Structures are given as C-alpha cells and as structure tokens.
Amino acid sequence: MTTTEEQPAQEVMRWRWNRHPKCVHLARCQLRRYLKASDAEELGDSATLLLSELLTNAVRHAHVSPGREIETAFDVTEERLRVEVSDASNEVPRLRHPKDDDEEGRGLALVAMVATRWGTDARKTNGTYAIGKTVWFEIDRLLHTID
C-alpha cells in the first residue's frame, strides 16, 4: 500500500462586517490569523496594510442602507494571496493623484505600489451578480520569500 502526504486545500475565508470603523481592526486580526493558519505569515504586514486601505474606503464611502454589510474574502495559495473587499455601492474607486498637502486620497496609490495586481469587479454572491462591487488585490508569495 502506498500513501501520499497531501495538504488539504486552503479554504477561502469570508467574513461579513457592519459598516463601522471598528471592523477594520477586526478584519486585520482575522487576516493575520488566517495567514498564520495557512503558513503565510510573511505576507502579514503588506496584506494587513492594504486590507486596511480597502476596508476603510468601503466604510467611509459605501453609503448603503443598513443590512448591506461589507464582506471580506481571503484566499492564499502556494503562489499568491488574494484579498477582496465587497460592498453594496456601485461607485467604483478611482486612483487619485493628490497634491502634497491633501490629507487623503493616497490609499489606492499605496495599493497599486505594494500589491502585485489589484482591480475592481462587479460583485458576485454565490456565483451570481449582486448589487455593488468587489475591490481586490493580490500579492505574489515569491516576492516575499527570503533567501
């Protein structure tokens, strides 16, 4: 009898959050726990920084009716980490070019600088289109490998 050792496929983790500033901290903690359980802690600093930017944007700008929560999804593979932030607003975020003295408007520029890829898609729930959008980023794990 031959046996092979296989690691179970990592599950995509999803959480729903009320549109409140406290959810940003809680989501960062969940992402760190997920990365630790997935043996991908090396991505923690970059990933939590970018998650904070996207989730803060959703909390501040996705003015939607109560009951339309914000959802986060985390998916790590051997090659990359993908983080998604979905909300029920159809307003697509824009990469801005703030002036030196502007106090905001740099979040997506930071995401574009740190992430390997990022973008915005129509929101889907259970494979079908739903109200709103999903803003996502990916970080390639090879870029965070220490030799």
Q: Give a yes or no: residue 7 inside a domain.
A: no
Q: Determine the residue type at 75.
A: D
Better-scored residue on pLDDT, 2 or 141: 141
Question: Is residue 120 in a domain?
Answer: yes
Does a structural domain hold residue 4?
no
- What's the rounded mean pLDDT across residues 55-68? 80
Percent helix / strand / coil, the chain, rounded to 5: 35, 30, 40
Share of the chain above pLDDT 70, in %: 82
The pLDDT assigned to 63 comes to 72
| Domain region containing 122 | 13-92+105-144
Q: Report pTM.
A: 0.84
Alpha helices in 1-146 (DSSP H): 22-37, 44-61, 107-114
Q: Is residue 3 part of a domain?
A: no
- Asked if the structure places residue 73 within a domain, the reply is yes
Q: Is the pLDDT of residue 8 over 50?
A: no
| 135 within domain boundaries | yes
Q: Residue 1: inside a domain, yes or no?
A: no
Residue 141: CB atoms within 10 Å: 17
Statement: residue 147 has pLDDT above 70: no
5 within a domain of the structure (yes/no): no
Could you give the number of structural domains in the chain?
A: 1
- At 40, which CATH number? 3.30.565.10
Q: What does the pLDDT look like over 90-132, one tens digit per residue? A: 888 877 776 677 666 678 888 999 999 999 998 877 677 778 8
Closest by CA position to 52, among listed 97, 16, 17, 21:
21
pLDDT at 146 over 70: no
